Chains A and B, each alone.
Chain A
Amino acid sequence: MSTSTRKALVALLLLGSAPPALAMDDGAIFWRFDGLVERRFHDLTPTVEWKAKGWIGDDYNKLRLESSGVIADNGQIDGEGGTKGVDSRFYYSRLISDFWDAKLGIQATVFGHGLSRTGFVAGFEGLAPFGFHVDAVAGVNQTGIATLKLDIDYDILLSQKLIATPFVEAMVASGDDRAIDLGSGLSRFEIGARLRYEFAKEFAPFIGVSFEQFTGPTASYVAAGNEPTSKLRAIAGIKIWF
């Protein structure tokens, strides 16, 4: 064995006995916060709605916090037929394929009159073929009623900065929760589109239009409360992330 080889061998052994090499990609923690707040114009029930999502974690494992809610102009929480309210979620998520995270967590929703629902949630979020953003989550709360919530949107680039985003939201429940006006079956769906202008990638005001329809028993509960069961609204707001 030559001297240089012997030297290298010694160096290898010394390094080899050191703790495993710290990898560059090891333990790198990143995070992101997304916020959207919008005014929903309506003659009878104008509201402000927000959706905020944050995650922190590495490439595979993330903790996710989500907050959303609807506040009516009179300052009351708008439960939207038991499908919205002020909702907080906390998830652990795991990357399960190139484009999909599976998530598992807990949920607490506050409705008007001090009513609240807490439970477990599990679902997926990611990017479907052709670039559809999908967030599909099933939940079950203390009433034993299971729900399924689906959010899909899609970015259409009109230019590099002007982007139209059609969206669909839908919710299905396994049973009636009369206290919060939630009925079984398809409770509600909303379709619409937002048109945003990205002054910066992280900051984009938008305008849009949405059509919301309560269905099944939910529609009758909502109607019983003297609320419209379908709403066509203009929306305007701001989308940010950092």
Chain B
Amino acid sequence: MISYLRRALAVVLLSASPAFAGTYDLVIDRTAVRIDGQERRVFSINGQFAGPTLRWKEGEEVTINVTNRLTEDTSIHWHGILLPFYMDGVPMVSFAGIKPGETFTYRFRVRQAGTYWYHSHSSGQEQEGMYAPIVVEPTKGERYKVDRDYVVMLSDQHAMSAGAILRKLKQEPGYFNDRRRTLPGLIRDLAKAKSPEERQRIIRDRLDWGDMRMDPTDLADVTGYTFLVNGRGPSDNWTGLFKSGEKIRLRFINGSAMSIFDARIPGLKLRVVQADGQDIVPIEVDEFRIGVGETYDVIVEPREARAYTIHAASIDRRGAARGTLAPRPGMSGPIPEMRPPSLLTMADMGMNHAAMAGMDHSKMDHSAMAMPTDNADGLVHAPPVNASPGERVLGYRDLRRLDRTYPLKSPDRTIELRLTGNMDKFFWSFDDRKYSESPTIDFVEDETVRLVLKNETMMNHPIHLHGIFMDLDNGAGDDRPRKHVVIVPPGRSVAVTIQMTEVGRWPFHCHLMFHMMTGMFREFVVHPRGAPLPVTTAPHSEGGSHVHKH
């Protein structure tokens, strides 16, 4: 009798309140902050910039009340978090957005652990400060015991509003490129050339780029950003304290609007233990590339009681986010010299001259460029970083999963999506169609789909899928890692396999904000098995992409 009562009581308690539940209140407002001494108006969360870190526990039932004190709509998207799609926070896809003066309550159970982040998915608020970290502690506690645990949130801040930047890009796509190739540059290169063949190559290269009406120095659509660590500028110098001999976990998050970084801490080996919130087989590197939306946890063990510089250079090398690890506040480590950017080559554009001999240049346009085929080298990339000899740079092929609790399934079908765009009019698309022209791609619950992403543009695109992880086809076989963002380099292909386990409408887009805003966006609609909704559209019947059945 007593045991029966006790059991009944336990059932009542458990069903009334889950093992643990937390309520979090977030207020969105505009706040003036100082970045490197300059006043900037940003979107703040609870008056903070960058916003407050949300610390959850795996299994926790979270309730988050988001209050909008702006004069415009807002939203919060939980980047990398598995949840019911109507809690995903994307206006017009998962919900109606949060109107001025309104409070929206998000509720979901946290089904995962790791480093993630949250940000606005409305207009340009993300660039203007509305982003913050999420740290979810595993049920069994952290896998690695460390003495210090810091978030290193990288971001980019601009004096111009997102709206003003987009206007300039639409008027003059090359507006922000202040490193275009010049005639004196050509003369200098020719004078430096050691042989007639080299001179010929230089001229040929100029002609090829001219023929495509493009510029190899076009590595970033927008320049003029100040790069931040945890909302602090390079001179503000965000500092994390340590005592020598301590183990420090640094949770790198790239919360930028438009900037991909190459990050390093000269003098320290970086033991990468997690990528996109997923534990990986630890790997020691000197440098890693982090795309917009990606996260990497690294563990460092500084042995000397001195200042170490956290240096994350934008891939166009126009600047770097800088922070410091130091035994005392106010210390500065040496700032590493900026390495030259890796300019695009004809190979990045899917061309090489051996294969092009005899090709008629006049008949070639950039939409018809020969792209590399699905070989291993095209599918996985080591970032083209100008590392010093002997230094190791993390590449996607180095990522191997630790979590063995889920099976990797072989795909039921393959879809190819081309990453496309019009650089001259500044709009971006998949399969030459903007979101407004081809909103959805339909799937059925539990089907497994191989997605081949073929980049036909000259930009790196960090492609993000909401709500469902992608198993990255990086040549690691059964060790393939799970990611929520994959960078697809210029002229290359990347393949992922997706198990459509989560029903709903999931945004799939380039995480470069202005690419997303101008059309590089789709909804992946995962229909419930047994109760399929009418297929919304057939975007690929005319779009030029191919659906293969296995």
Q: Which residues of A approach B to under 8 Å, CB–CB?
A: 1, 4-5, 7-9, 11-13, 15-16, 20-26, 28, 30-32, 59, 95, 98-99, 127, 129-131, 156-160, 201, 241
Contact = CB atoms under 8 A, between A and B. Distances in A.
Contacts of A157: 180-183
A7 B425 contact: no
Contact of A30 (B171, B179, B366, B424): B171
The list of the 3 closest CB pairs from A to B, nearest first, reads: A23-B436, A25-B519, A130-B210
B213 A129 contact: yes
Given A7-B84, A16-B533, A99 B213 contact: yes
Most buried by A among B210, B367, B503: B503
Interface residues of B, number: 52
B434 A25 contact: yes
Given A25-B435, A129-B213, A201-B172, A98 B365 contact: yes
Contacts of B365: 98
B521 interface: yes
A7 B167 CA distance: 40
Given A20-B439, A25-B435, A157-B180, A241 B171 contact: yes
A25 B210 CA distance: 29
B424 A127 contact: yes
Nearest to B436: A23
Contacts of B504: 8, 11-12
A26 B93 CA distance: 14
Contact of A159 (B175, B184, B439): B184
B425 A24 contact: no
Given A21-B439, A25-B427, A160-B178, A32 B213 contact: no
A25 B213 contact: no
B401 interface: no
A99 B86 CA distance: 40
Contacts of A59: 170, 422, 425, 427, 434, 518
A159 B184 CA distance: 7
Most buried by B among A8, A22, A24, A32: A24
A98 B432 CA distance: 10
B85 A21 contact: no
A34 to B, nearest CB: 9
A25 B436 contact: yes
Given A23-B439, A32-B170, A59-B427, 16 more contacts: A7-B86, A8-B84, A8-B85, A9-B528, A9-B533, A12-B527, A12-B528, A22-B92, A24-B521, A25-B427, A25-B435, A30-B171, A32-B172, A158-B182, A158-B183, A201-B172
Contacts of B424: 98-99, 127
B355 interface: no
Interface string B515-548: 0111101010101101101001000000000000
7 contacts: A21-B439, A21-B523, A24-B518, A25-B435, A129-B210, A201-B175, A241-B172
Nearest to A201: B175
The SS class assigned to the A binding surface is mixed
B211 interface: yes
Contact of A95 (B94, B366, B425, B505): B425
Nearest to A129: B211
Given A22-B92, A130-B211, A98 B435 contact: no
Contacts of A201: 172, 175
Interface in B479-532: 503-505, 516-519, 521, 523, 525, 527-528, 530-531
B436 A158 contact: no
B297 interface: no
Interface string B151-195: 000000000000000010011100100111111100000000000
B445 interface: yes
Given A1-B530, A23-B434, A241-B171, A160 B183 contact: no
Nearest to A13: B533
B467 to A, nearest CB: 10
B84 A160 contact: no
Nearest to B367: A98
A23 B435 contact: yes
Contacts of A28: 518
Contacts of A25: 427, 434-436, 517-519, 521
Contacts of A158: 182-184
Contacts of A30: 167, 170-171
A131 B206 CA distance: 12
Given A24-B517, A95-B425, A98-B422, A8 B528 contact: yes
A141 B527 CA distance: 59
B84 A11 contact: yes
B362 interface: yes
Most buried by A among B171, B181, B211, B518: B171
B528 A5 contact: yes
B398 to A, nearest CB: 35
A34 B93 CA distance: 38
A157 B183 CA distance: 6
Contacts of B427: 25, 59
A30 B92 CA distance: 22
